[in-house]
């Protein structure tokens, strides 16, 4: 018997709906829902252990996977099984995690797992836009200690109108692609890319999405009420000692405040804070530290955070001595690496990124193979964050989710400025060599300069800046911090990164840690970010004002041409013989793709030498050469025959045609060599296909003057071939009975 189910429906306002259902699937999970829009279905389950883990953080895992069966497809690869998550799945996991994590109690340390699975796909529905809704709805049905319902929504703008959760087709026409995560009261997360929009337009898009999220949160609450809201589980809270907290505060606050005000470097400041903590620990016995050592460390960290925040709110000063709007010193360099196609170094304070650009053909495009999306990227960026960049030694176990997320943000920031007619596949790799605040924005700046150094004709240069916020709800004070340090990222109330050109925003990533952040503060922060972004942009253009006019001498040049579909096979040759020999002879790479619309062949020629590229183009011209009837062409004799000469079109080497002996001259020609010889160059007229021989006909004599007194020979009489039937040959009139049998042979 099918169990009882509960369902809530959310109206998106344009005929589309999202339903949330529970009660049918995965009932042993602590909470489970099926979220559906159109034919797209997500199954989300949540489980959290009842025993607290022996850690001082929330061990939360958000997992998002797309099943290939959902789209009626098989996984690629040998094993035909879903394996490690794709970058697209990792990015969705991060979007959900960043909204959920702050809403669990700080002292809740139970192992918690959120699993979201795409079980059925719809081409008109983008499933990642519903992942946050599914996760929150499942948690609302559990007994987890969780603050309030949240949801996420994508917002686009098509023809000037905002759209909630647009389809991929609508998104292709949109100038905004933003994902917003929020509760009914507060916006908590923003991430997306834009086509150079203003700060005010960005704020309006966030407001529009927030209104839709409020409706989705209300639906979750109704569903939980219908099912029966569970009692929040009890868990063992962290131990607290108010007297100890006050003692640590009194011992540390003034000393920390003084160090913070000193404006020292990261290492000096870290060493000074470490000494203060050691002095405090020294006041306790070993027995006491065994019992309360973890509390001492916790209360010291809390005091340190309070002192640093107070310094900024009270005096407008920051840990490194800057004012709130100051940008750290910047120095830049291009063409740093001698053998790469493009490179740059961007250093801002204690953050440094080295970016490289590699230019290639469409064969090097990044293939995207997900159940919800197939395609390729001809511009992509990879971001590496090795442990030495923060002075640490730790194992490297593949690419982290953080590296995927930061690289994606930088890629979205830059990709809109790559021209549509760029013939190359462009890959940027950012190596973070030092990090103390926003290496992703350093990557954007380094990537801009590296592309310009490589000769990629960017529409406009792009810069990025990381901003912070420190606020005090009781006093109403707040301070927006430009170009934040790593420490300011951890102790602040908002971390947001904004990238853009001089004319508008191209990408953003925002995590808001305080409730009820006003849109007024948000707009002020965005305006301050714009000022900082333009300051950094000026430093970039001082280093390299515009893209190089051409790629470097040792970098590959790319030429693209089109040929009729009929000639693709001739260019490739049997078994690829022609194209392989051509690549070897010219030291080039040749890639042929078929235009899906016109069915023409798109030929990409990549080579470091112009001579090689020109040779390939000449070969293509030769293969695709088609003489016009009535035109005169210069030819060269390449072979002598008894009945004529084989000549080659000089403008299309390799294209040969027979010049018959009767077309050499007006006079009767007995020997071909009486008129022409090997290597002779002369003009001929092209007559097209001869109706009698059904072969191409060219003539030398047609462009020569007729000799004086020349008389055209009368055409030779020909008997009708039909008169030469078997009945007229005589032999078939014999009587078969007159035949004599063949003699037997031994």
Q: Which residues are part of a known binding site for Mg(2+)?
A: 489, 495
SS3 8: strand
Distance between first and last Cα of the chain: 93
Question: CA 447 to CA 430: how far, in whole Å?
Answer: 7
Question: Residue 50's CB: how many other CB atoms inside 10 A?
Answer: 11
Which pair of tokens denotes residue 669? 């020609």
Rounding to the nearest 10 degrees, give the CA dihedral for residues 385, 391, 395, 397: -10
Question: CA 93 to CA 365: how far, in whole Å?
Answer: 25
Sheet containing strand 478-482, strands side by side? 161-164, 150-158, 176-183, 187-197, 504-512, 494-501, 463-471, 478-482
Half-sphere exposure of 607 (CA within 13 A, CB side): 23
Q: Which residues carry a binding-site annotation? A: 489, 495
Q: How many angstroms separate the Cα of 384 from the Cα of each of 298, 323, 411? A: 32, 31, 13
**Residue 142: exposure state from Cβ atoms within 10 A (0-12, 13-18, ≥19):** buried
**Neighbour-count burial for 405-415, b at 16+ CB within 10 Å, e otherwise:** bbbbbbbbbbb
The DSSP H or E segment spanning 113 is: strand 110-120
Q: How many angstroms separate the Cα of 650 from the Cα of each of 585, 610, 653? A: 20, 21, 6
Q: How many angstroms separate the Cα of 219 from the Cα of each of 26, 188, 223? A: 21, 19, 6
Q: Are 475 and 310 in contact (CB under 8 A)?
A: no
Q: Looking at the DSSP assignment, which residues form a beta bridge with residue 607?
A: 557, 588
Could you tell me which residues come within 8 angstroms of residue 387 by beta carbon, excluding any fewer than 6 positions away? 393, 394, 396
Which pair of tokens denotes residue 703? 């462009």
Which pair of tokens denotes residue 642? 């008894």
Q: Which of 142, 140, 93 is nearest to 118 (CA)?
A: 93
Return left, alpha or beta for 586; rule: phi > 0 is left, psi -120 to 50 is alpha, else beta.
alpha
Q: Are 336 and 344 in contact (CB under 8 A)?
A: yes
CA angle (139, 140, 146) in 5-degree steps = 70
**Residue 383: exposure state from Cβ atoms within 10 A (0-12, 13-18, ≥19):** buried
Which pair of tokens denotes residue 626? 């088609």
SS3 130: helix
């Amino acid at each position: 018997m099918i169990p009882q189910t509960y369902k809530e429906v959310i109206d998106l306002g344009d005929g589309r709906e999202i339903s949330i259902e529970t009660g049918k699937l995965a009932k042993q999970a602590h909470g489970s829902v099926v979220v559906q829009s159109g034919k797209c279905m997500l199954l989300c389950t949540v489980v959290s252990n009842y025993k607290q883990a022996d850690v001082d953080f929330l061990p939360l895992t958000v997992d998002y996977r797309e099943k290939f069966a959902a789209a009626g497809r098989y996984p690629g690869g040998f094993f035909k099984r879903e394996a490690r998550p794709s970058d697209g799945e990792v990015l969705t996991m991060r979007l959900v995690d960043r909204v959920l994590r702050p809403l669990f109690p700080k002292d809740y340390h139970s192992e918690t797992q959120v699993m979201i699975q795409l079980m059925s796909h719809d081409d008109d529905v983008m499933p990642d836009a519903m992942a946050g809704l599914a996760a929150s709805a499942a948690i609302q049905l559990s007994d987890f200690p969780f603050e309030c319902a949240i949801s996420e929504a994508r917002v686009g703008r098509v023809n000037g109108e905002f759209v909630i959760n647009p389809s991929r087709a609508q998104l292709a026409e949109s100038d905004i692609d933003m994902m917003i995560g929020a509760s009914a009261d507060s916006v908590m997360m923003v991430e997306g890319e834009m086509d150079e929009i203003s700060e005010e337009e960005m704020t309006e898009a966030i407001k529009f999405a927030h209104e839709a999220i409020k409706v989705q949160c209300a639906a979750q609450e109704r569903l939980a009420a219908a099912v029966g809201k569970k009692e929040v589980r009890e868990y063992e809270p962290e131990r607290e000692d108010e007297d100890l907290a006050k003692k640590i505060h009194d011992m540390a606050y003034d000393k920390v405040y003084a160090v913070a005000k000193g404006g020292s470097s990261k290492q000096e400041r870290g060493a000074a804070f470490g000494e203060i903590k050691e002095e405090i620990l020294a006041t306790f016995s070993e027995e006491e530290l065994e019992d309360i050592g973890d509390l001492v460390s916790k209360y010291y960290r809390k005091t340190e955070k309070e002192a640093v925040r107070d310094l900024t709110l009270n005096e407008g000063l920051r840990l490194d001595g800057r004012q709130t709007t100051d940008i750290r010193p910047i120095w830049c360099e291009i063409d740093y690496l001698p053998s790469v196609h493009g490179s740059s170094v961007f250093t801002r304070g204690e953050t440094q990124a080295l970016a490289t650009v590699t230019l290639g053909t469409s064969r090097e495009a990044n293939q995207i193979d997900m159940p919800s999306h197939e395609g390729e990227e001809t511009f992509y960026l990879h971001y590496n964050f090795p442990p030495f960049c923060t002075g640490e030694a730790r194992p490297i176990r593949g690419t982290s989710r953080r590296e995927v997320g930061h690289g994606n943000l930088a890629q979205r920031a830059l990709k809109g400025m790559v021209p549509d007619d760029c013939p190359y596949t462009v890959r940027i790799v950012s190596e973070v060599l030092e990090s103390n605040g926003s290496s992703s924005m350093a990557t954007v700046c380094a990537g801009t300069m590296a592309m310009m150094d490589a000769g990629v004709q960017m529409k406009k240069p792009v810069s990025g800046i990381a901003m912070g916020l420190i606020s005090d709800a009781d006093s109403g004070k707040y301070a927006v911090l430009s170009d934040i340090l790593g420490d300011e990222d951890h102790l602040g109330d908002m971390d947001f990164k904004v990238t853009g050109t001089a004319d508008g925003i191209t990408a953003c990533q925002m995590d808001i840690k305080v409730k009820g952040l006003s849109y007024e503060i948000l707009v002020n922060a965005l305006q301050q970010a714009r000022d900082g972004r333009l300051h950094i942009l000026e430093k970039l253009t001082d280093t390299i004002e515009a893209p190089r006019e051409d790629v470097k001498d040792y970098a590959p040049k790319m030429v693209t041409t089109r040929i009729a579909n009929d000639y693709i096979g001739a260019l490739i040759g049997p078994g690829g013989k022609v194209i392989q020999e051509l690549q070897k002879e010219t030291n080039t790479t040749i890639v042929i793709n078929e235009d899906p619309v016109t069915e023409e062949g798109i030929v990409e020629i990549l080579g470091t030498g112009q001579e090689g590229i020109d040779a390939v183009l000449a070969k293509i011209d030769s293969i695709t050469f088609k003489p016009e009837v009535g035109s005169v062409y210069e030819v060269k004799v390449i072979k002598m025959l008894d009945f004529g000469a084989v000549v080659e079109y000089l403008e299309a080497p390799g294209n040969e045609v027979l010049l018959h002996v009767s077309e050499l001259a007006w006079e009767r020609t007995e020997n071909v060599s009486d008129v022409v010889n090997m290597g002779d160059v002369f003009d001929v007229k092209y007559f097209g296909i001869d109706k009698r021989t059904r072969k191409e006909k060219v003539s030398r004599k047609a462009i020569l003057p007729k000799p004086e007194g020349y008389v055209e020979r009368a055409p030779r009489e020909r008997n009708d071939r039909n008169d030469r039937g078997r009945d007229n040959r005589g032999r078939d009139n014999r009587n078969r009975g007159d035949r004599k049998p063949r003699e037997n042979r031994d």
